[in-house]
Chain A
Amino acid sequence: MAPYLSLAIWVPILAGVAVLVLGRDRDAGTARWIALAGALAGFLVTLPLYTQFDLTTSSMQFVERSEWIPYFDIYYHLGVDGISVLLVLLNSFTTLLVVWASWESIKVRVAQYMAAFLVMSGFLNGAFIAQDAILFYVFFEAMLIPMYLIIGIWGGERRVYAAIKFFLYTLLGSLLMLVAFLYLYQKSGSFALADWYELPLSLQTQVLIFIAFFAAFAVKVPMWPVHTWLPDAHPEAPTGGSVVLAAITLKIGAYGFVRFVLPILPDASHYLSGFIITLSLIAIVYIGFVAIVQPDMKRLIAYSSISHMGFVTLGFFLFSVQGSEGALAQMLSHGFVSAAMFLWVGVLYDRMHTHLIADFGGVANTMPKFAAFVMLFSMANAGLPGTSGFVGEFLVILAAVKFNFWIGLVAAISLILGAAYTLWMYKRVLYGEVANARVAALTDLNRREFWLLATLAAAVLFMGIWPKPFIDVMHVSVVDLLAHVAKSKL
């Protein structure tokens, strides 16, 4: 069997290096085509992960394991299960979209831009499939470097502030996690995640480690109240940066909860579940209100992301199959929907160089095809049945009602709020009279943009109408995860 997982990491990274070496600033075309070829190859090598995936087992598949740093018992240990395989596919797919989306909009330092995304994509895949804590950490940290450069070089006006805030915020959490890793290594003599799942720990220790992990993953998710970097980073990031940030990097935080917090610290997770549920509900409701009043489209979508990610953390800490599967479905759906939302804002930004809602109005008159796509994505963002946004939210709310009626009720408020902020933005941007001369001069989607949005529209509808292929892949692994969480380690 071919080492698909290694390929999933190294094909994009090497493609990124090739773009840097071969692409010249004066000859942007070459860089674009090499990048597209690299992204496509990166996507193709991940497809066998889905087609050859064994749905009947919860153990790791496509495993690769070899010595890496024997001095420290660190292994180059890769593997995927039903939880991570879809995230790897989502990431490789999104990278392809990002390269395609920034074909014309990026004009300076094209080679560096494309290379940053490809390298980033490899690091993200690495974080999703690493089965060794230090290997995970290396990818988890290294991805900050390309993201920092993406926001800082190609970003908007306050890009420097946003880039440094993004970097330091996320670094603080991960450094504390590193100390927790070293402590666990001290206790178990191994960095293998599978060994840590079996390691007995006292409740007090579990709670301390929980705090360290929480610092790392909650910042990435991001959960209220450590979310403030996200609304600052998004408006300043270029379109591709926003897409990757929203669609993938946020998922790393949620993935960390599933892969590290729940199985390694089951007792602390139960002990502190009230805390996490409360924070999630605050994110869902309070941040939903905050989103309504945003004057900037990208900030609005950023807040809506935080609110949607609240469902993910809520779902995991309900400790039921329905809740966890809902959370995972929500992660995937949010990957598609947020990518689509940021892409359509990018389409407008390329034409008008602004993403303030007040600068628009009546866009539907000049861009009818565009308006149709935006309608679909807005509905998905609001969680309309038939779109992917509905599946996850519905499952999580269902699980929440079973867990406690009032939690379910509060979470359900999101359906109203989501509709409120998304549709009100839609109304102000696309409906009404043509607001000004610049809107009147807008041209509708070109062929590249059309197919880009059409691809995502197909994904959103497919997952909304027939979520079974997605749920089936994760089911066995989720059941196994919950069995781990139910077993006390005291």
Chain B
Amino acid sequence: MTVNLLPILPEIVVLIGASVVLLVDLFLDDDRRHIGYWLAQSTLLVAAWATLRTLDIDVVRVMHDLVVDDLVADLLRLCSFAAVSLVLFYSRSYLALRGLFRGETFVLILFALLGMQVLITANSFLTLYLGLELMSLALYALVAMQRGERAPAEAAMKYFVLGALASGFLLYGMSMIYGATGTLEIDRVSRAVLAGGENEILLIFGLVFVVSAIAFKLGAVPYHMWVPDVYHGAPTAITLLIGTAPEFAAFAMLLRLLGGALVGAEVDWQGMLVVLSVLSVTLGHVVAIAQVNLKRMLAYSNIANMGYVLMGFLAADVTGYSAAMFYMVAYVLTSLVSFGMIVLLSRRGFEADLLDDLRGLNTRSPWWAFVMLLAMFSLAGMPPTIGFYAKLLVLQAAVKAGFVWLAVVGVIAALIGAFYYLRVVKLMYFDEPVDRSPIEARADTRVLLSANALALLLFGILPQPLMGLCAVVLVQSQFF
């Protein structure tokens, strides 16, 4: 019997890459750490190449149906590779100045990525759980990497305890669903639920726990408590990582569990998502106003944005799923810029993570102020940036599903949110700088961060390719 390993080639590449970096790092002294860095970058490149090479428009299930390789998986994998690669590029000098430019960092990042990939391609509750744990454990360790500092240690502890709780919820919920349907494989669970006749109470009981676990991972209210503390406490480069690539994995979890396994019980999870969404968009935006720390503010903004993802998703059809997926891609693209700017502005022994550190940025550097302006208006959902179309699609999905009132709540929350994004613009453009030190960054960081910001504008003017791609990919992967 031969085993078809092609669909999981990208995972194999990342695993080998991580192991090679781990081994090679043993023989490197401090001057040659960049070899590990470039090895990690090449791993990402090869993995992306492997994904494209093995692209298959059909849905392929392998390893005794534990793993599924469909177009959604391919797209989310590619997005994760790109996000992790950009994170590495943006944070290179930041890591170097804080003694984090080490093999361990790259290995942990690659293992976190591997976890995301396993989660993205999961076709079984077991694989999904395995991927989630691999990702989470690597991220906990990354948050705590800066030894001797109090804030990261505290953040890592909170992240770990609450994350473990969420994992517990997930396992508990999955076991209930297993009890109700008698299988762990997502497509079979899906068929069983659609056929009906199983123990309804047991199933709904499991569903509640699964939804809670997903909300935990997304950071939706009321399961959001860890988000601000972790974003705030972690070294900014790690915040940049946590706030970007894992969002794709969290979306995959949402899609595989609710859009896949439990699609037959949509009436039951729709109501829960409505509540989560309304609470997230309102509380996230309102609390963000009170923040003085930029990282904390963006953390609350993240909570609110996840509320919009759920608002699109709860339409429970291909319009809704692709709206949520587009929103997620747009959000990560924007987050890369906003957190990337904090990393860029930070220097040796100085974290530019207070709102006041942005004061007068337009005087210091009109270009970087413009880059941050694009990110803020994209988060606020203003045209002509990609954030506008993200909001438009999500609201349209909600209206189409008959939730006009939810769309109204969404836009009113967006108005509240606009206030604090505008405040950031106000600080950069209307105020005089306190700190006039020049902004220094590596050439590759400058170019990529600028390109990333211009992409917000470019996709804001021509959003069709990305929108169409999300919809096509979902239909091909049989989510409708």
Chain A residues close to B by CB (< 8 Å): 68-72, 109, 112, 134, 137-139, 141-142, 144-145, 148-149, 152-153, 159-160, 163-164, 167-168, 171-172, 175-176, 178-179, 182-183, 185-186
A139 to B366 alpha-carbon distance, docked (Å): 24
Minimal Cβ-Cβ distance residue in B for A179: B407
Task: Evaluate whether A145 and B430 lie within 8 angstroms (CB atoms) in the complex, with A71-B467, A178-B411, A186-B399 already known.
Answer: no
B404: CB under 8 A from chain A? yes
Q: Judge whether B366 and A112 touch: CB under 8 Å.
A: yes
B404: chain A residues at CB < 8 Å are 179, 183
Minimal Cβ-Cβ distance residue in B for A176: B411
Q: Judge whether A179 and B388 touch: CB under 8 Å.
A: no
A149, A153, A182: the one contacting B395 at CB < 8 Å is A182
B42: CB under 8 A from chain A? no
> What are 25 A-B contacts with C-beta separation under 8 Å?
A69-B389, A69-B463, A71-B468, A72-B392, A109-B362, A138-B383, A138-B388, A139-B383, A141-B383, A144-B382, A145-B382, A152-B425, A152-B426, A160-B430, A163-B430, A164-B422, A164-B423, A164-B426, A167-B422, A168-B415, A168-B419, A171-B415, A178-B411, A182-B399, A186-B396
A182 to B471 alpha-carbon distance, docked (Å): 19
A71, A142, A179: the one contacting B382 at CB < 8 Å is A142
A46 to B400 alpha-carbon distance, docked (Å): 40
Other than the given A138-B388, A148-B422, 19 more pairs (CB < 8 A) read A69-B389, A70-B468, A72-B393, A134-B392, A141-B383, A142-B382, A142-B384, A145-B382, A148-B425, A149-B429, A153-B430, A164-B423, A167-B418, A168-B422, A175-B415, A178-B395, A179-B399, A179-B404, A179-B407
A86 to B388 alpha-carbon distance, docked (Å): 30
Minimal Cβ-Cβ distance residue in B for A173: B415
A345 to B419 alpha-carbon distance, docked (Å): 31
A149: chain B residues at CB < 8 Å are 425, 429
Minimal Cβ-Cβ distance residue in A for B411: A175
Q: Judge whether A179 and B395 touch: CB under 8 Å.
A: yes
Shortest C-beta distance, A367 to chain B (Å), equals 33
A68, A159, A182: the one contacting B430 at CB < 8 Å is A159
Binary A-proximity of B425-438 (CB < 8 A = 1, otherwise 0): 11001100000000
B468: chain A residues at CB < 8 Å are 70-71
B414: CB under 8 A from chain A? yes
Shortest C-beta distance, B460 to chain A (Å), equals 9
A69: chain B residues at CB < 8 Å are 389, 463-464, 467
A148 to B376 alpha-carbon distance, docked (Å): 14
A159 to B383 alpha-carbon distance, docked (Å): 24
Minimal Cβ-Cβ distance residue in B for A70: B464
Shortest C-beta distance, A226 to chain B (Å), equals 14
Shortest C-beta distance, B410 to chain A (Å), equals 8
Q: Judge whether B384 and A164 touch: CB under 8 Å.
A: no
B451: CB under 8 A from chain A? no
A60 to B396 alpha-carbon distance, docked (Å): 28
A137, A168, A179, A182: the one contacting B383 at CB < 8 Å is A137
Q: Judge whether A141 and B388 touch: CB under 8 Å.
A: yes
Q: Judge whether A171 and B430 touch: CB under 8 Å.
A: no
Q: Judge whether A179 and B467 touch: CB under 8 Å.
A: no
Chain B, range 376-420, C-beta contacts under 8 Å to A: 377, 382-384, 388-389, 392-393, 395-396, 399-400, 404, 407-408, 411-412, 414-415, 418-419
Which one of A149, A159, A178 has the greatest number of beta carbons of chain B within 10 Å?
Answer: A178
A19 to B270 alpha-carbon distance, docked (Å): 50
B400: chain A residues at CB < 8 Å are 186
